[in-house]
Homo-oligomer: A and B are copies of this chain.
Amino acid sequence: MKRSNRQSESARARFARNLKTLRIQLGLSQEALAANAGLHRTYIGSIERAERNVSIDNMEHLATALNVDIIDLLRVQ
């Protein structure tokens, strides 16, 4: 079964896409999300561009700040 493009997407790209999509759905700016997660705004931007090899603890801080589970930010949408 040929893997769809989304399934062959890296975990980084998935996390980046889901993070940005959910943040925008919730009407949060990068600044607001950064404040809620205890991270810096520029760090959020670099994660959303899939430039960061983000750690599991920061992934969890971001999920908690968005009131979802870490798995929700790694789904193949």
A 1-41 binary contact with B (CB < 8 Å = 1; else 0): 00000000011100100000000000000000000000000
A54: interface (CB < 8 Å): yes
**Residue numbers in B under 8 Å from A59 (CB-CB):** 11, 56
* Copies of this chain held together in the complex: 2
CA distance A10 to B60 in the complex (A): 8
Contact between chains at A53 and B53 (CB < 8 Å): no
A28 to B10, CA, bound (A): 25
Tell me the smallest distance from the CB of A8 to a CB of chain B, in Å: 11
| Cβ 8 A contact of A70, one of B53, B55, B74 | B74
* A12 cross-chain contacts in B, Cβ below 8 A: 56-57, 60
